[in-house]
Amino acid sequence: MSNKQLAESRAEVAGWPFLQAFQTEMNHLFERFNGGLGRDLQLSPAIDVAETDDAVEVTVEVPGVGKDDLDVSVANDTLIIKGEKSDLREDKDKDWRIVERRYGSFRRHVPLGFTPGDDKVDATFANGVLTLKIDKPKGAKQHTRKVEIKAR
């Protein structure tokens, strides 16, 4: 077999079937990186954390999760938010082709920088949004100082 024939043969082997397999593997990689789609995969709800002089406010988007499926706790200086979104589909007669809604459990840790008092965390839940207000202890006021950036 000549070098040209060998090169053409390799191009066929490394051509479309290879690219198709490569694309499939890349899709699986990105799906795992992004938390996956479908059932029984890790979720990561979006959170906003805002700080004032007196409190830290945390807002968590958990659409499709009920109040009873959420668990909020504080361990020392860390807020822990856990929950689960269940897959309640009962359509056994349907042949599912695409399932993009996410189901599964999640766990988020939010470092607070202080340990809140026992009765200093207020949690409310409405329309798929969990809102937490954590009062800061008196000694937890943040002291901010400017850091100079030097050019090289």
Weakest-pLDDT range from 28-42, 98-112, 119-133? 28-42
Which one-letter amino acid corresponds to residue 91? D
For residue 94, pLDDT beyond 60: yes
Six token digits for residue 70: 């959420």
* pLDDT given for residue 37 in this prediction: 45
If you average pLDDT over every residue of the chain, what do you get?
79
For the domain covering 47-89+99-139, report its CATH number.
2.60.40.790
Most confident of 17-21, 97-101, 114-118, 122-126: 122-126
Report residue 7 CA to chain centroid gap: 46
pTM over 0.85: no
pLDDT band at 36 (very low <50, low <70, confident <90, very high): very low
Could you count the other beta carbons within 10 Å of the beta carbon of residue 121? 19
* pLDDT given for residue 57 in this prediction: 96
Q: Enumerate the domain spans of the chain.
A: 3-33, 47-89+99-139
